[in-house]
């Protein structure tokens, strides 16, 4: 009888009060099974910050890439994927789920259903994309400032609304002509209880292309704590590690927690700058910076940008390259 009473008390207490380890931030990134290069670019860029966060002992953070069913992969692709899984141990397959961009919303919901299996108990979950650069400590600090790790029903990110809906499936499903209030899919955060709420919906979700708008639509009538942080708009952030020929979105000098629409090259370059100088926005203040151009690459909308050059002579004393 005493043992039964003890078990009952443990089931009522929050995990943090009964000695169970609780993850602070779970991170999920939907990818296709064959997108090895994208996953490796994330591992070699901002995901390198996760070890530093853990070593500081302040927050427990873990990342998983989520892929769809692999039964139709060619033998060579399957072998490559199995090697990658064994090497990194950070890939989860949604067996039986057929991948497709138009099914991203359903994939995210299926990911929420297995989130506790992957991470155990967690406080917050970040869903982000393979072309997003996450400033991990900057994001954690923004969430801490708003008390997000201790709050219930948290929905956080850069919220937007009002533009005409582009996806016909979203129009048909909601009857709306304009996007509802939602946090940009490049990087939004949900608390454990909201993840479980979405995962345990009594009725199945429709197949909707705009996954971020789908989440916003579903949560709209419910009470939650909205927390705002900054996500860069339609190009990588200009003036931080890269320079854009046209800064149409006026991103230079702003502080973003998530920097979207990056290429493989800019993801890695931003991380190297971060590791060298502690801030990917570190600038040399030298006339040479505007004249030394290399590796000019196309960005969204036909825009071009180039990497800010670094020479040994420009690196401050004490910085090890």
Q: Quote the pLDDT of residue 61.
A: 98
pTM of the predicted model, to two decimals? 0.86
- Burial label for 210, CB within 10 Å (0-12, 13-18, 19+), is buried
**Which of 96-120 are b and which e, b meaning 16 or more Cβ less than 10 Å from the residue's Cβ?**
ebebeeebbbbbbbbbbbbbeebbe
Q: Which of 281, 171, 169, 285 is nearest to 232 (CA)?
A: 281
Residue ranges in the chain assigned as alpha helix (H): 2-12, 36-43, 49-56, 75-88, 104-119, 136-145, 168-174, 192-199, 211-219, 264-277, 287-291
Q: Quote the pLDDT of residue 88.
A: 98
Q: Quote the pLDDT of residue 50.
A: 96
Q: Quote the pLDDT of residue 55.
A: 85
Inter-CA distances, 86 with 80, 90, 92, 256, Å: 10, 9, 12, 34
- Burial label for 196, CB within 10 Å (0-12, 13-18, 19+), is middle
Chain center to CA of 246: 26
Q: Are 178 and 213 in contact (CB under 8 A)?
A: no
Q: Quote the pLDDT of residue 73.
A: 96
Q: Which of 190, 217, 214 is nearest to 127 (CA)?
A: 190
> What class is the 2-228 domain?
alpha beta
Gap between the Cα atoms of 112 and 114, Å rounded: 5
Domain ranges of the chain: 2-228, 242-314
Write the pLDDT tens digit of every residue in 154-202: 999 999 988 888 888 888 888 888 888 999 999 999 999 999 999 999 8
Q: Quote the pLDDT of residue 303.
A: 63
Q: Quote the pLDDT of residue 314.
A: 52
Q: Are 39 and 65 in contact (CB under 8 A)?
A: yes
Q: Point out the residues of the chain with pLDDT beneath 50.
A: 1-18, 286-294, 319-321
**Which of 40-56 are b and which e, b meaning 16 or more Cβ less than 10 Å from the residue's Cβ?**
ebbbebbbbbbeebeee
Q: Are 130 and 202 in contact (CB under 8 A)?
A: no
Q: Quote the pLDDT of residue 18.
A: 46
Q: Quote the pLDDT of residue 4.
A: 43
Gap between the Cα atoms of 310 and 63, Å rounded: 31
Q: Quote the pLDDT of residue 320.
A: 47
Residue whose pair of structure tokens reads 């995901």 in the numeric block: 47
**Cβ-defined contacts of 175-181 (< 8 Å, 24+):** 176/217, 179/210, 179/213, 180/213, 180/216, 180/217, 180/220, 181/216, 181/220
Q: Quote the pLDDT of residue 57.
A: 76
Helix (H, G, I), strand (E, B) or coil at 270: helix
Q: Quote the pLDDT of residue 299.
A: 55
């Amino acid at each position: 009888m005493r043992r039964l009473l003890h078990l009952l008390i443990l089931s009522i207490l929050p995990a943090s009060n009964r000695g169970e380890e609780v993850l602070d931030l779970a991170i999920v990134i939907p990818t296709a099974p064959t997108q090895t290069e994208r996953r490796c670019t994330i591992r070699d860029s901002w995901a390198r910050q996760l070890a530093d966060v853990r070593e500081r002992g302040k927050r427990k953070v873990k990342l998983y890439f989520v892929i769809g069913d692999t039964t139709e992969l060619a033998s060579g692709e399957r072998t490559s994927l199995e090697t990658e899984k064994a090497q990194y141990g950070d890939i989860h397959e949604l067996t039986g789920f057929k991948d497709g961009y138009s099914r991203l919303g359903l994939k995210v919901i299926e990911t929420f259903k297995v989130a506790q299996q992957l991470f155990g108990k967690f406080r917050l979950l970040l869903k982000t994309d393979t072309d997003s650069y996450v400033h991990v400590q900057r994001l954690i600090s923004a969430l801490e400032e708003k008390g997000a790790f201790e709050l219930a029903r948290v929905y956080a990110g850069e919220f937007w609304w009002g533009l005409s809906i582009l996806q016909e499936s979203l129009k048909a499903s909601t009857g709306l002509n304009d996007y509802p209030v939602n946090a940009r899919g490049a990087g939004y955060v949900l608390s454990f209880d909201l993840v479980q709420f979405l995962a345990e919906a009594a009725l199945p979700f429709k197949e909707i292309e705009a996954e971020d708008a789908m989440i916003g639509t579903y949560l709209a009538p419910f009470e939650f704590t909205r927390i705002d942080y900054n996500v860069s708009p339609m190009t990588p952030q200009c003036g931080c590690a890269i320079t854009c020929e046209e800064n149409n979105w006026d991103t230079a000098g702003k502080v973003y927690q998530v920097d979207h629409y990056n290429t493989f090259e800019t993801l890695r370059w931003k991380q190297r700058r971060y590791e060298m100088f502690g801030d990917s926005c570190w600038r040399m203040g030298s006339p040479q910076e505007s004249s030394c151009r290399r590796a000019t690459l196309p960005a969204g909308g036909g825009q071009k940008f180039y990497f800010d050059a670094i020479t040994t002579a420009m690196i401050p004393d004490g910085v090890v390259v």
